[in-house]
Amino acid sequence: MGQLSESDFEGFEQPDWDSLLDKRDYIHTLIDHVEWDAQLRAIRLLLGRNRKSREEASEFIKRDGEELKSYKGSHHDHYVDQHVDLIHDSIYEDAAESMAAIGMIAPMVESILCQAMAALGYMYQKKNMAPRRTSVGRGRIKAGAHGMFAGTGSSI
């Protein structure tokens, strides 16, 4: 069997080895049991239910507004107030749904970050390494460009 030369690889592009993993999959190099897809599917399912409910509520408000335009009876002002209340309530419901979405996503991200930091700490300990510390004085850490802790006597 002969040696390979550069001409044998003509027309083939060198792969970009850094782009073989999806960005979110790099976490698996630190944590081997992250269930991204299962957690995200559950969140999408709940958000989908909320979206469907919100669309139904919006359609109800739209129909109520159309009925209100055609009503000219003695209780018109009362029905206008009710319609305004529906719109007002829907704004607060949308805000509550947004907070609920954040309430589902934030703990997942926090858990993954905590596990990743713990894994990094373990790797540092295993190799008997420590993060680099820049000191301003004995036992103090320089805070950076804004100098928050520098020279205050506070230590981190």
For position 26, what pLDDT does the model report?
73
Please indicate, yes or no, if residue 115 is contained in any of the structural domains. Answer: yes
For position 65, what pLDDT does the model report?
93
For position 90, what pLDDT does the model report?
92
The type of residue at 135 is S
Which parts of the chain sit beneath pLDDT 50? 140-156
Q: Containing domain of residue 121, as a range? A: 28-126
The type of residue at 42 is A
| Token reading at 129 | 């390494």
Q: Where are the alpha helices (DSSP H) in 127-142?
A: none
For position 118, what pLDDT does the model report?
87
Please indicate, yes or no, if residue 10 is contained in any of the structural domains. Answer: no
Please indicate, yes or no, if residue 32 is contained in any of the structural domains. Answer: yes
Is 140 within 8 Å of 155 (Cβ atoms)? yes
Neighbours of 28 (CB within 10 A): 12
- For 47, residues 6+ apart whose C-beta sits below 8 A from its C-beta are 101, 104
For position 154, what pLDDT does the model report?
44
Please indicate, yes or no, if residue 36 is contained in any of the structural domains. Answer: yes
The domain total for the chain is 1
Helix (H, G, I), strand (E, B) or coil at 127: coil
For position 85, what pLDDT does the model report?
94
- Burial category of 46 from C-beta neighbours within 10 Å (exposed 0-12, middle 13-18, buried 19 and up): middle
Please indicate, yes or no, if residue 71 is contained in any of the structural domains. Answer: yes
Please indicate, yes or no, if residue 103 is contained in any of the structural domains. Answer: yes
